[in-house]
A = this chain, B = another copy of it.
C-alpha cells in the first residue's frame, strides 16, 4: 500500500546537495583525511565545523559564537542530553513550552526530570505571564527549576516565533529566579518568509546564563548527525567529561570534515535553495488543508520550520482517527506526543518537506476523509 508519511522533521531529498557533498568529500579527504588517524582527545576534528557554526550565528545575530565555547555533538539530541545528564539530577524541574519537541520530553523523562509546561500561542510563543506565575509558585514551594527550555524560532510543533518582548521578559524572569536557559535553535535559518526572527536569547541576554544549541539536521540532513552546544565556560569541563567518558568520546570526524568543507563556501546559497523547496511544499500543504479540511479544522501557517500543527474538531476520536489513517497508509505524529503532561489533545503534526507535492495533496485528502469519519 502507498504510504503518506507526514512524520518526523525530515528535509527535502531534492535539496540535498549530493554532488556538493561528493566533491567536498574528495577535497577534504585529500587535504585532511590523514588527521582521522587521531583520537578525539588528540585532535579536534571539528575545528572547521565550529567556524561554520560560529559564522552562521554571526550572519543572523551580528556577533560570532565563541569557538572555544562550542561542543560539536552527534545531532542536536546530544546537545540536549549532555546538559541534562551532566547538570541535572532526577527530581529536578525543567520548564518548557506546554507543547514541545517529543524527543526532548523523552530525554527529560529518561533522566527523571519533572516537566512544567507553559501554555504558548502559535504566533508569539510561550506565555511569559504564565511563566512568571509558574516560577513564583515553584519558588514559593522552594523549587528552583534547573532550566527553562524554549524553542524560540519556528517552535516545534507549533511553528511559533517567540516575540521580542517575550524574549526579553523570559530573560528577565530567568535572571530574577536564577534559572539557566537551555535555548534550542534547531529550526534556526529555516526561514520561509523574508520577515527576520528576533535575536536569540543567547545574544539578547547574559551568555553566561544561556546554553545555546543548534543543528545541521534541518538545514542539511538529519543523517549527518551533527549538532552543537554553545555553553558557558564554567560548564564545559563537566559537559566534556560526560561526552568523553560517559557517552561517545567524540562525534564523527569524517562526517564533520565533509559537512564543514561543503558548508564553508555554500552555506547561504544552499539554505536559500533548500528553503525555497520547503516553502513551495508548505504552500502545497496549506492549500490542501484549505481545500479538504477548511470546514472542520484549523492549523498554523508557520513562517519557518518543517511542520504544520493541525487542531481537529473537539468531536474527533484520536484512537479511531489513528486506526483509519493507518488503514489508508497515512502517518502523522499524534498531538499528545508533544504535550508536556502527555494529554491526549485533539491535534496532530504534519511534516511535509520530504514528500512530493502530489503525495502531500493526496495524503491530506485521505487524512481529511479520516478526520471526517472519526469526528
Contacts and interface: CB of A to CB of B under 8 A. Distances in A.
Contact of A248 (B21, B35, B221, B225): B225
A73 interface: yes
Interface residues of A, number: 66
B36 A248 contact: no
Contact of A224 (B18, B21, B36, B244): B36
A33 to B, nearest CB: 4
A25 B258 contact: yes
A349 to B, nearest CB: 14
Contacts of A258: 25, 254
Contacts of A85: 246
Contacts of A40: 222-223, 225
A237 B103 CA distance: 17
A241 to B, nearest CB: 7
Q: Interface SS of chain A: helix, strand, loop or mixed? A: helix
A16 B26 CA distance: 14
A122 interface: no
A45 interface: yes
A350 to B, nearest CB: 15
A259 B252 CA distance: 12
A10 interface: yes
A335 interface: no
A226 B250 CA distance: 10
Interface stretch (A105-113, A167-175, A338-346): A105-113
Interface in A8-27: 8-13, 16, 18, 21-22, 25-26
Contact of A36 (B38, B222, B247): B222
A78 B73 CA distance: 13
A106 B240 CA distance: 13
Contacts of A25: 21-22, 25-26, 29, 258
A157 interface: no
A2 B226 CA distance: 35
Interface of A: 5, 7-13, 16, 18, 21-22, 25-26, 29-30, 33-43, 45, 73-75, 77-78, 81, 85, 103, 106-107, 109-111, 217, 221-226, 241-242, 244-255, 257-259, 354
9 contacts: A8-B42, A10-B38, A16-B37, A37-B223, A78-B248, A81-B247, A225-B248, A247-B247, A247-B248
